[in-house]
Amino acid sequence: MSVLRMLYLLLAVWGAIHPMYYFVQWFQENGWDIMAMVDAWHVNVAASGLVWDLTISAIALTIWIIAEVTTRRNWGALIAIPATFCIGVSCGLPLYLFLRSAPVR
Q: Is the pLDDT of residue 105 over 90?
A: no
- In angstroms, the CA 2 to CA 82 distance is 25
Report if residue 88 sits inside a domain: yes
Question: What's the domain range around 51?
Answer: 3-100
- DSSP E strand stretches across 1-105: none
Report if residue 45 sits inside a domain: yes
Domains of the chain: total: 1
Q: Is the pLDDT of residue 39 over 90?
A: yes
Q: Is the pLDDT of residue 104 over 80?
A: no
Angle between helices 45-72 and 34-41 (to 10 degrees): 110
Q: Is the pLDDT of residue 11 over 80?
A: yes
Confidence of residue 1 (pLDDT cuts 50, 70, 90): confident
Report if residue 59 sits inside a domain: yes
Report if residue 76 sits inside a domain: yes
Report if residue 105 sits inside a domain: no
Specify the pLDDT at position 103.
85
- Full-model pTM: 0.89
Using alpha carbons, select from 64, 71, 68 the residue that is nearest to residue 89.
64
- DSSP character for 44? S
